Amino acid sequence: MKPELISKPLQAKTPAPAAVHLQTIGPEEAGQRLDNYLLRWAKGVPKSHVYRIIRSGEVRVNKKRAEPTTRLIEGDVVRVPPVRIAEPAQMAAVNTAQTKSRAQGYSDKMPILYEDEALLIVNKPAGLAVHGGSGIALGVIETLRITRPELKFIELVHRLDRDTSGVLLLAKKRSALVELHRQIREGQTDKRYFLLAHGEIAQGAGVMQLKFALHKYLLPNGERRVRVDPDGLPSHTALRVIKTMKRGGAAITLAEAQLKTGRTHQIRVHLQKLGHAILGDDKYGFEDQDKIIKSKRLYLHAHLAGFTHPRTGEKMRIESPLPAEFAAMMKNFEVPAEKSRATDTPND
């Protein structure tokens, strides 16, 4: 009797062993990056663990190693090693009243710039991640899935760093997601950012072409970093100085950066390499100078997205105004008359 009495509760509490999963990609999953597919499929698994099993080769696509950025196509077979997927009861926690309240608060601070049957474009605030993971419970995508339950499909078209604000595209149809990803891969989109940088960036007529190869690596704690490296991937940013401002011995520059490629932290690392890090950049910036001028955020804002509408073929140009924090910072600096390009200054 004793073994029987002991074994029953043990069996009830012991979860079934995790097993290898073979997932065949269907038409609804096709077009996604491997990391995005796994982050959605392996709900409850830490984001850092998902990236680790990809990079270690434990995840296979058609029996071959794959990168996080690998695009999945219909018919691909994805092998996922044993991982603990969150139980339904754990996932239900996302629908608690407290979580719904937090999501609504985030949504209220995220104005919709454009919406139709295929697209949802929002003005993401600084400080809000685009998706949860690594200790972040709610990002833009989770917020929208909670506050807009009528949306049967909603996926990020691209990403913005957590501390970057501005135009963020999401697709409400799989076909729209696939088409916009194609446009991004083929360089048919236009993404531009306003930034405030330390120092006075010297620029003659025209636009500066910043072309530095970038290498992505991980810190011991698993956090991503990027550095300029001759053996890295090619990257290209077009930088246009709008105006420079001075206050005492300090100077800052307002500029527009146009992405020609879309590498991780590209603009931030390019400006660091130039010797003019972006204000408030806690990864690649100048901490001492940020303290002097009292930077309160990363002064990088995605102000324009240009693309072709995936359904109508219409040329789209979605813009977001310069955030109030930019204008407040610039008011603290004197604008030398000979340096000002007032006609080019956005909303200041």
Query: Residue 159 carries which DSSP code?
Result: -
The amino acid at residue 39 is L
How many beta carbons lie within 10 A of that of residue 115, not counting itself?
A: 12
List 161, 163, 281, 290, catalytic entry: 161
| b/e code 47-57 from CB counts within 10 Å (16+ = b) | bebbbebbeee
C-beta separation of 210 from 236 below 8 A: yes
161 is known as an active-site residue: yes
Classified as helix, coil or strand, 210 is strand
The amino acid at residue 336 is P
Task: Give the pairing type, strands 165-171 and 208-210.
Answer: unpaired
- C-alpha neighbours within 13 Å on the C-beta side of residue 285: 22
* Helices 97-108, 140-147: crossing angle, 10 deg rounding: 110
In this structure, what token pair is assigned to residue 128?
A: 């809000």
**Residues annotated as catalytic (active site), given as ranges:** 161
